[in-house]
Structure 1
Amino acid sequence: MSTDLDRLKNPDSVPAVGAEATPDAEEKAAPAKPAKAPRKRAAAKVSGGKFKLNDKGVWFVEDASEDGTDGGDKWLGDFLEIVAQVRDIEESEFAVRVRFKNMDGNIKELTIPREKISSDQSTAVLDSYLSKSGYVFSYAMASKRLLLQYLQAGLNAPRARLVARTGWYQETSAFVLPAEVIGDAGEWLIYDGSLKVPVMAAGAAAAWRDGVSRYAVGNPLLMLTLGAGFAAPLIAWSSIDTGGFHFVGASKKGKSTICDMAASIYGKPNDYRQTWNNTATALEYTTAAFNHLPLLIDEISQAEERGISKAVYALSQGKGKGRGKDTGGLRDLTRWGCFILSNGEEALSNVIKRGGGKVNAGQEVRFIELSADRKSGAFDDLHGFSDASAMCKSMALTANEHHGMIGRDYLNKLAAADRSAFKGLIHDAMDKFKREAVPAGASGQASHVAQYFALCGFAGELATSYGLTGWETGSAWTAAKWMYADWLRGRGGAGDGEDMQIIKQVQHFFEQHGMARFHGWNDEENTTFDEKSAKTLARCGFRKTIELHPDGDTAVKLSDTDFYVFPNSWSNDVLAGVDLKRANKVLLDRGILRPDSKGKPQWSGRIPSSGRTKVRMYVLNAAALMGAYDE
C-alpha cells in the first residue's frame, strides 16, 4: 500500500527497525540475559559456620569441621539455590527467588516473600511454600532453623525485578514472556505472573508460512485475524483500548480455527486458547496475563450470562477492581492492554439479553462483531481444498507442529525498533485508514472501531515487510478495509449505535403491535373510529392508512400508514428505557416522526373522541420507519 508503512521496508528510513527480513528465518532467538552478569558468590556465613550447596543438597558446615566433607556436615535439605534477591516494580515488596529440586527430581522456581522468613515463627514458611511444592528437607527443628537462616543470609545473590505480567516493560525495549525476556530493560527481569501464558516455539517459520499464512491470501477474515495477532504487541504504542473481534458463525465452519491461527504466531493453539467459562475475576486475571499479546476466548455461549455485560466493559477498561490486602490497604490495580479474539455461534447481544442485560453501543464498539459465514464457512478461497473443514484441518496440523517461531522473530524486531518512530507511524496509518475507509460524517463510534481494523492492517503490513507472512505488500491493508466495510454493512451504517438501537426498538414495537394496539381511523373528517377495525386491546393510539396510486403500469395497490401515538404510550411503551429527547431527534432527522408546523416532534389536532379539543400526538410514518434500517 502506498503509505508511510512502505518506509518500513527501508531500514534507513525508520530508526533501528532491525535487520533485513530473511524469509527463511528458522533460528531461535537467543534467550535474554541479565543486563549485568551475576557476580561470583561466596558461601553465606552465619554464626558458628557457613552453608554449602551441591547436587546433593544444602549443607551446614560448622566452623569446627576440619575437611568440610559431606560426611562431616549437617544435611538441611535437597538442592535449593538462591537465584536472586527480587523486588516488585514499585519496590514495595521484596522476596527471595529460589530454584529447587522437587520429589520427582524436576527443577522448579519459587518466590518466597522476605516477610515470611523474618520472624521467630518463620519456619512455617518451609511447609507452606517449599514442602507444599515438593521440596524435601530435614524436619529436625534445628535443621529447619538453619535452612531458614540459609534463605535469610543469601543477600549477595544477584538483584532482579519481578514482573507480574507479560508485554513491554514500562518504556524500555524489553518484552517479558514467561520463559524469557526479549530485548533489554537495563536490569534482570523475572516473570512472576499468576498464569503461565503458554508462549512457546517449535518447528520452522517457513513451514508456518507455507501451511498457515499463505491460506490467508484471498481470505480477508483470516488475514485480518492474523493481523490482529501481530497487532497485539502494538496496543501499547497505539493508545487504543483493550478490545477486539467477536466472530459469529455456524459450528464447524472455521471461526475457532482462524482464532487458533492467530495464536499459532506465539504458541501452540490448543494450549494457548482460553474459555469464556470463567468468573469475571478469573477473566480479569487471564486478560492481565496476556498483556500485549492476543487473547483467544473460545465459545461465548459458555459465558456466565448474568455477568457477561459487565465483563465486556471490565475487560475493555484495561484495569481490574480495587481489592484489599490481607494486611490492610489496597493492592495495586491489575492492568492490561491486549487484542481479544472471541468466537461463538451466538452474537454477544443475544448472550447479554438472555442474562437479563441490555445491549449498549459501548459493548459493540469494544467487541466488534464480524460474521464468520462467508462463501465457504469462514473463508472465501479454499485454495483447492474440498471444503472449509479440510482446509481448517490442514492448517491446524501445521500449527500444531510449527508455532511460535514467527512471533519470536517479530518480537525481536519490535524490540530493536524505535518506539517513538513507531508511534508516529501507527498514528499516520490510523489517519490514512480513516480517510480511505470511514464514510464522511461517520459517528465517533464508527471512527473508534476503525482504529482496530487500521491497527490490524498496519501490523499485517509490518510483518510482511519483515518477511514473516509471504503476502504481497498492501494485502493486509486491503483486507482490513474490506472487513471494516463488511462490519458497517452488517451494522446498518456509520451512525451511532445508540441511534440504531432506538430505530430497531421502534421497528420492533410496530412490527409486533401495529395492528393490535392501534385502532383504525380512516374517515375523511378524521373524527370517528373505523367501526370495522379489529378490536384493540391496550390501545396506544390510532392507525390511518391511505391508498396510493399504483406504481407504474402495474395494477398492484399500494398504501401508506401513519400511526398517531398517545404521548404516555410513546414514552412508556414505544420508547421504554430510551432517552426521549434523543429518540425524538433521531426519528425526526430520519423523517420517521412527522413534525408540526414549527418542527416540534408532536402534532396537534383533533382525534376521534376528542370532540373540538385539539390534542398532542406523536405521528409516525410506517414507510419511513421500515426503510430506516435494513439489517
Structure 2
Amino acid sequence: MKHDGVYYAGKSKEGDLLPEKRICSHLKVLARTRDPQQSEWGVLLEWRDYDNHIHKWAMPLELLRGDSADIVGELLRRGLDIPYGKKNKVVEYIQSSAPYKRITCTDKTGWHNHVYVTPEHVYGDEDSNFIYQSGAAGIQSGFSTAGTLNGWRENVARYAQGNSRLVFSISMAFAGSLVGLANIESGGVHFSGGSKDGKTTVLLAAASVFGHPDTYKRTYRATANALEGVASLHNDGFLPLDELKQCTPKEAGEVVYMLANGQDKARMKDHGGLRALKTWRLLFLSTGEISLVDYLKSAGIQSYAGQEVRLANIPADAGKGYKILENLHGFQSVTDFFTHMHKAIRRHHGTAGAAWLETITSEQETIRENLPDLISQFVADVLPNNNSTQADTVAKRAALVAIAGELATKHGLTGWQAGEATAAAKRCFRDWLAEFGTGDREDLRILDTVRAFIERNGDKFMNHEEGRELSEGSELVRDLVGFHRLAGSEGREYLILASQIERVVEGFNVKQAVKALLKHNWISKTETDSRGYTVASVRVTLPRFGRTRCYFLNLNAADTDV
C-alpha cells in the first residue's frame, strides 16, 4: 500500500524483482467476517471512490469460487480505480490478505443482540462488532440519506399534520423496527381508491423516512421469490409496496400470506439438502385501486379472513373532498400539495430514519418494557367490547404505529403535536373496522358461501314438503345435493345430504364451517349421540336413500349478526 494505491512487484524467471505496478487505488482489508455459527466467511473492504467518498463492503469469500467477475464488478461499480489488465491482481491481493480483526456478519437486517443492522450502517453501542454481508454482490437496499433532518421535518412531516393517512403512513415507517420488540405478528395496511388520489404520494412520503423514495419503495411487479429477498432485506423494518394490480390476483394472495407469515419456501440446494430458510418481521404498506378481496373476487378466487387481517384495507379517500388528504395547509389545490411533497421528499430523505434507529437502539430495553401496556391501552380504547381475535390483531398493529409516531415526535423527529400519531392511527383503524365489521370475518365468509351456493344451485334441491312422501317412483333431480320444504313461519328449510356438505362449503374446512353454521343458528336441527355430544347432522329416513344423515338448514331463521 502506498499513498496513491496498492502496488504489486513480481519477479522475473531468473528471480529478479521487477518494477512495481499499481493495481488499484487505496483498498484496505480491515477484518475477517463470519456469522455466529463460524460460517459464511468473508472480508471487510474499505476504499474511497473518485469523489473521495468512503465505501465499505463485507465481501463473502464464496464469491471467489468462480471467475471473480462479481467481485471486480462491485468494486468498479462503487468507484474503486482499477487500471486495465489488473483485475486478477486485485482479487489476488484481497485473497492473500490476513487481517487479525474478526467481525460478526449477518445477511439479515434488523435487530442482532443490542444493535440494529442495515446494509449501510450498524446502530448501537456494539456497532463495531457487526456488519451486513450479503451472499451476492450489488445489493440495492434503498437506504440512503439526503438533505437534513430539519429539512425533512419542515418540508415533509410538517404537512402530514391533520392528514390521518399521511401521519399514519409515516408513523408506520417508524413502527416497522418495533415489531420484534413488541412481539406482534407481521402485517400490512392497504390503501385502496381511485387513480390519482394521492396513494402513491403518501407511500413515497413514508418511504422517505429511510431512503430515496424511488429506490426504497418497491412494487408488486416481481415474482414471489424476488419479494422473499426484498422482505428479508427489510427485516425488522418497513416495506412500501406500490400498485397491487402489478401482479396477478393469485400471486397477490400468496404474497400477502408470505410477507405476513415471515418465512420463505423451503427449497433444495443444488447438490441436495435443504437451503436455510429466510425469515423476517416487518410492516408493509400497500396501495391499489381496489382491495385485495375485490381483486381476488375479480378473478373468481376465494378470499379468506386471514388475508383481510394480514393486509387491512383502508379506503384512501379521507372524506373531506381532498382525496387522501384532509388538510391542504394553505396550498391552492390537492395537486399543488402533491407537487410540493414530491419535490421535498427527493430533496430530504433518510435522515429521520437514521436518527430514529440511533434513538431506539439506545432505548431498546425501556421501549420493550413499555410496549405491552401501551398496546393494551390503545386496543382497549378502540375495541372496548372486543370479541374478535381478528380485530384485535389489526388493533395491535395500529397501536404499534401510534406508539412509534408518538415516540418519534417525543424525540423531535416529526415536529408534530403530542397525540397526532395516536389520533391518526385511531381514525384509520376505525375506518378499517367500519368496513370489516366487529364479528368473526371467517364466519361471515362461510355464511356467504353457503347462501350463494343455495341461491346458485336451486335446481339441485328436490321438493320434499313436510308430510308429503317421496315415493319410490319419484324421479330424482340431476346432481342432487339435498331437499327443500316449507317449515311453517320460519320459511324454507333445506336438507343437505351429509355426503354433499363439502360442496356447499367449498373452500372451507367442513368442521370449521359446520361450527360457524351452528354458532349463527343456520343449522335448525341437531341430535345427541350416545356420549351426550351434540351432532350437527341428523339421521332421517328417505325413500330411495334409506337411513341417511342430513344437515337441516334454515337461512330465514338464522342469526346473521356477525
Asked if TM exceeds 0.5, the reply is yes
Structure 2: how far apart are the matches of 1:490 and 1:572? 29
Q: Structure 2 vs 1, CA of residues 511 and 379 (structure 1 numbering), >3 Å: closer, same or farther?
A: farther
Deviation at 1:477, TM superposition (A): 2.0
Structure 2: how far apart are the matches of 1:513 and 1:628? 25
Deviations 1:215-266 (A, max 9, x none): 4444333322222111011122111232221222221112222222211112
* Corresponding residue number in structure 2 for 1:42: none
Structure 2: how far apart are the matches of 1:432 and 1:405? 31
Structure 2: how far apart are the matches of 1:105 and 1:210? 31
Instruction: Please tell me the residue identity of whatever aligns with 1:155.
Output: A
Structure having the higher Rg: 1
Match of 1:334 among 264, 267, 278: 278
Deviations 1:458-503 (A, max 9, x none): 11111121222233322322332333233222122232x3222211
* Corresponding residue number in structure 2 for 1:620: 553
Matched, 1:177 2:122: no
Match of 1:542 among 484, 494, 499: 484
* Corresponding residue number in structure 2 for 1:421: 366
**SS across alignment from 1:310:** helix
Greater Cα shift, 200-209 or 538-547: 538-547
Q: Structure 2 vs 1, CA of residues 390 and 615 (structure 1 numbering), >3 Å: closer, same or farther?
A: farther
Deviations 1:399-452 (A, max 9, x none): 2222222222222221221x2221121111122123222353523333222221
Q: Report if aligned partners of 2:6, 2:24 keep a CA contact under 8 Å in 1.
A: yes
Match of 2:409 among 448, 464, 467: 464
Match of 2:8 among 39, 53, 59: 59
Structure 2: how far apart are the matches of 1:347 and 1:163? 36
Instruction: Please tell me the residue identity of whatever aligns with 1:190.
Output: I
Deviations 1:558-596 (A, max 9, x none): xx6323233248604322243333323322322333235
Q: Structure 2 vs 1, CA of residues 626 and 200 (structure 1 numbering), >3 Å: closer, same or farther?
A: same
Deviation at 1:92, TM superposition (A): 1.2
Structure 2: how far apart are the matches of 1:373 and 1:603? 50
Deviation at 1:517, TM superposition (A): 5.0
Structure 2: how far apart are the matches of 1:479 and 1:198? 27
Matched, 1:437 2:379: no
Instruction: Please tell me the residue identity of whatever aligns with 2:410.
Output: S
Q: Structure 2 vs 1, CA of residues 546 and 378 (structure 1 numbering), >3 Å: closer, same or farther?
A: farther
Q: Structure 2 vs 1, CA of residues 402 and 350 (structure 1 numbering), >3 Å: closer, same or farther?
A: same
Greater Cα shift, 595-604 or 150-159: 595-604
**SS across alignment from 1:489:** helix
**SS across alignment from 2:165:** helix
Deviation at 1:511, TM superposition (A): 4.2
Match of 1:187 among 108, 123, 128: 128
* Corresponding residue number in structure 2 for 1:532: none
Structure 2: how far apart are the matches of 1:132 and 1:384? 47
Structure 2: how far apart are the matches of 1:333 and 1:201? 31
Q: Structure 2 vs 1, CA of residues 331 and 572 (structure 1 numbering), >3 Å: closer, same or farther?
A: closer
Q: Report if aligned partners of 1:242, 1:339 keep a CA contact under 8 Å in 2.
A: yes
Match of 1:74 among 20, 24, 27: 20
* Corresponding residue number in structure 1 for 2:232: 288
- Return 5+ residue gaps in structure 1 as ranges: 1-51, 530-534, 548-559
Q: Structure 2 vs 1, CA of residues 55 and 306 (structure 1 numbering), >3 Å: closer, same or farther?
A: same
Q: Report if aligned partners of 1:527, 1:606 keep a CA contact under 8 Å in 2.
A: no
Structure 2: how far apart are the matches of 1:624 and 1:248? 36
Alignment of 1:345-424 (within 5 A): 345-352=289-296, 358-375=302-319, 376=321, 377-383=323-329, 385=331, 388-417=334-363, 419-424=364-369
**SS across alignment from 2:313:** strand
* Corresponding residue number in structure 2 for 1:317: 261
**SS across alignment from 2:281:** coil
Matched, 1:593 2:512: no
Deviation at 1:112, TM superposition (A): 4.9
Q: Report if aligned partners of 2:29, 2:97 keep a CA contact under 8 Å in 1.
A: no
Deviations 1:40-90 (A, max 9, x none): xxxxxxxxxxxx434254232889xxxx9xxx7321522251332321323
Instruction: Please tell me the residue identity of whatever aligns with 2:40.
Output: E
* Corresponding residue number in structure 1 for 2:93: 150
- What RMSD over aligned residues (CA atoms) do the two structures have, in Å? 3.9
**SS across alignment from 1:346:** coil
* Corresponding residue number in structure 2 for 1:219: 163
Q: Report if aligned partners of 1:83, 1:157 keep a CA contact under 8 Å in 2.
A: no
Structure 2: how far apart are the matches of 1:481 and 1:226? 15
Matched, 1:527 2:468: yes
Structure 2: how far apart are the matches of 1:149 and 1:274? 37
Structure 1: how far apart are the matches of 2:73 and 2:340? 46
Q: Structure 2 vs 1, CA of residues 113 and 89 (structure 1 numbering), >3 Å: closer, same or farther?
A: closer
Instruction: Please tell me the residue identity of whatever aligns with 1:503.
Output: L
Deviations 1:101-129 (A, max 9, x none): 89999986655555676xxxx8x756563
Q: Report if aligned partners of 1:507, 1:625 keep a CA contact under 8 Å in 2.
A: no
Deviation at 1:616, TM superposition (A): 6.3
Q: Size of the alignment, in residue pairs? A: 537
Structure 1: how far apart are the matches of 2:57 and 2:163? 45
Alignment of 1:197-212 (within 5 A): 197-212=141-156
Q: Report if aligned partners of 1:233, 1:292 keep a CA contact under 8 Å in 2.
A: yes
Deviations 1:165-198 (A, max 9, x none): 3323x112x3323333333225344333353322
Structure 2: how far apart are the matches of 1:401 and 1:491? 38
**SS across alignment from 1:594:** coil
* Corresponding residue number in structure 1 for 2:473: none
* Corresponding residue number in structure 1 for 2:197: 253
Greater Cα shift, 148-157 or 358-367: 148-157
**SS across alignment from 1:392:** helix
Matched, 1:240 2:173: no
Q: Structure 2 vs 1, CA of residues 536 and 207 (structure 1 numbering), >3 Å: closer, same or farther?
A: farther
In the superposition, the TM-score normalised over structure 1's length comes to 0.73
Q: Structure 2 vs 1, CA of residues 581 and 216 (structure 1 numbering), >3 Å: closer, same or farther?
A: same
Match of 2:445 among 483, 501, 506: 501
Q: Report if aligned partners of 1:165, 1:291 keep a CA contact under 8 Å in 2.
A: yes
* Corresponding residue number in structure 2 for 1:96: 43
Q: Report if aligned partners of 1:588, 1:595 keep a CA contact under 8 Å in 2.
A: no
